Structure 1
């Protein structure tokens, strides 16, 4: 099913046709200027104008009817048959118009017979069909270029909308997962550390506010993301004894860079989930963050027990990679490594990108 052109596209086509056919007429007239005497040149202009009318009609019929309804639908035999019939019909009507309507207004030449108009094929081809074909060929070629450009822009727009929808879907997958884990933390806290429950609820409130509002933005300051990570770590740390969880942070914010929201938070959550969350022994988590005028470099490491398959990419790491591709295309690095029971992720992104 063919897409119906919008009002803007129709106006663009009309403006293009107006410019194109006027330019073609002026070019053809200027090419013959000086080859005829004044009176004869006026007749040439009239002839050219009469031919132009049928060039316009023929080119539009071929493109908007034959090409769109037959050629585009791969009905090549029907397209070829109707094209030949149409060219013959347009040529005959054009000649009939000139001989019996236009020429009597400015010349007294003997009229060709109706039979001659229909049967003199060589004359029709040379003086009527070829002008229609030449004008239609140029017109249709330009229309195909415009059509290709519009379809390409439309495809790019659809792809962008699809990517944005996918990204929103990824965030909707992440948020319930994160909320579930955090509520479990508060539940554990309410049982064993009830005097700190109010503080944890306040921290959770800040995290949810960040996800619901700043999480929908395209970019956030690195410092904002870091503040939320501090809240998250505080909530998670309440679940473990000090000797069970070791956290080291090395933060160097030299410049106020920006990143997509939830980028680093997802990695921190992933480290807790696959580190302390799946190990009964001591778990170490190291966070390193540095910003400068060119890049933001975030590195996180977590230890894991020997029987775990920490290298397996879960939903969190998949989200990160797709989010990076959406926001930065190819202008980022995303490295995952695993060695000696240490799982490490490193992300390098431009300081600002849009």
Structure 2
């Protein structure tokens, strides 16, 4: 927290330094360029004196009056302290010039303290308005910087929230997937199938993918399709001849997708298709990439009752991940008809 505060303080000091130096130089050349052409030393000293009180007044208005009173909706106190404060700063600025600065470069007669306190019109136009003008520029800059920082903070918080949510969703999907796969291997081991060793090898490849690729933000579509094939090979050991697989790949353009995205759809098709029937079942998978979009399709037969399309923990998590990865940039269509459950997903290629 202290590092963040120190960094913010340094930034504010740097911004203020640049702004006040620029305003000082502008004021010096503006006054020196007037027709009367006053002595540069005189212009410089007057400029420094006004500049000091502009800095004091601007910081007092922003950090005290605006932050503590105006933003707290204490408008009466804000106006009262603003008027009183501007008058006091104007008087102090005038006193400083008359009794501290002018003796250094001129022999002007000194006004009495009473004259300085009561000449409100002169104070207003020659001291208070310059302080207010400098304060207005400073406060405007601070509000712009504050708006930028708040916007950046909001974006950072949203990014962190999205990353945490994605991790939570993946944490839900991965155990769900592993649980089903381990059940498959367990079923094979009970029957004494020779396919157990092959299943474990396939599972090892899948676990390697989950551990080393599943935490990435994006993976190549070719890498995702490879692990999809490993998973299918694992499932084929369980279903043997009664499962018919049709896979079509047209990856003409390289593309990236969130890890485990296609695999989750495939796992869902096996769970709600082949696993729910003892007869023959068909699953069709196709992937097609174009310059701007990738189209993934999967269809599986089902028999008997089936949940409403798009429901279930797996599909709901997938939809939420897509919302986070591709806000308003993807199309997901889920439908069922004539004992076929169909998923069509279109995502940006890059």
Q: One fold, TM greater than 0.5?
A: yes
Aligned to 1:77: 76
Stretches of 4+ moved more than 6 A in 1? none
- Whether 2:235 is the aligned partner of 1:236: answer yes
Shift of the alpha carbon at 1:282?
A: 4.1
* Equivalent position of 2:299 in the other structure: 301
Structure 2 residue runs without a partner (length 5+):
none
Contact kept? 1:174, 1:316, Cα under 8 Å: yes
Change (3 A) 1:343 1:163: same
Deviations 1:115-148 (A, max 9, x none): 2322332222222111110110011101111111
- The answer on whether the counterparts of 1:274 and 1:310 sit within 8 Å (CA) in structure 2 is no
Aligned to 1:251: 249
3-state SS of 1:297 partner: strand
Deviation (angstroms), 1:199 = 0.7
Partner of 1:19: 18
CA deviations on 1:97-125 (whole Å, 9 max, x unpaired) are: 11211122223333222223223322222
Distance 2:10 2:231 in 1: 55
Partner residue of 2:222? 223
Q: Kindly state the Cα deviation for residue 262 of structure 1 after the two structures are TM-superposed.
A: 0.3
Corresponding residue for 1:36? 36
Q: Which of 272, 275, 286 is matched with 2:273 structurally? A: 275
Query: Equivalent residue for 1:210?
Result: 209
Residue 288 of structure 1 deviates from its aligned partner by 1.0
Residue by residue over 1:35-64, the C-alpha shift from the partner in whole angstroms, topping out at 9 and shown as x without a partner, is 22453x532332222111100111011112
1:346 offset after TM fit, Å? 1.2
Q: Secondary structure at the match of 1:216?
A: coil
Q: Deviation at 1:248?
A: 1.8
Unaligned runs of 5+ in 1: none
Shift of 1:75: 2.9
1:193 deviates by 4.2
Aligned-residue RMSD, C-alpha: 2.3
8 Å CA contact 2:298–2:343 kept in 1: the answer is yes
CA shift at 1:241, angstroms? 5.4
- Corresponding residue number in structure 2 for 1:263: 261
1:188 matched to 2:173:
no
- CA gap 1:274/1:198 in 2 versus in 1, 3 angstroms: same
Relative to the length of structure 1, the TM-score reads 0.90
8 Å contact kept, 2:199–2:237: no
Per the TM alignment, residue 4 of structure 1 is displaced from its structure 2 partner at its CA by: 9.2
Number of positions where the alignment pairs a residue of Structure 1 with one of Structure 2: 349
**Matching of residues 1-354 of structure 1 within 5 Å:** 6-32=5-31, 33-39=33-39, 41-240=40-239, 242-243=241-242, 245-351=243-349, 353=350
Q: Secondary structure at the match of 1:307?
A: coil
